[in-house]
Amino acid sequence: MPYHWPEDTQFEKLTLEVEDKDCPECGRTTTICDHRFHRVHTLGGPLKMTMKLTHCPDKSCPSHSKTLSPEAEFGIAMPYWAIAWDVFAWIGQRRFSRHWSVPQICYELIDTYEITLSEDVIEDYISQHPAGIYDLRPQPNEDSHRATEHTEQEYFKKL
As a whole number of angstroms, the distance between CA 134 and CA 114 comes to: 25
Reported as a pLDDT band with limits 50, 70 and 90, residue 154 is low
Tell me: the pLDDT tens digits for 4-60? 898 999 999 999 999 999 999 999 999 999 999 999 999 999 999 999 999 999 999
Nearest to residue 90, comparing CAs of 33, 46, 134?
134
Average pLDDT over residues 105-111: 97
Domain boundaries, the chain: 12-76, 85-137+148-157
| CB-neighbour burial class of residue 98 (10 A; exposed 0-12, middle 13-18, buried 19+) | exposed
Segments in the chain forming alpha helices (H): 72-76, 85-92, 102-108, 119-127, 152-157
SS3 label, residue 54: strand
Indicate the pTM of the whole model: 0.77
As a whole number of angstroms, the distance between CA 150 and CA 153 comes to: 8
Query: Does residue 66 surpass a pLDDT of 90?
Result: yes
Q: Which H/E stretch holds residue 15?
A: strand 12-17
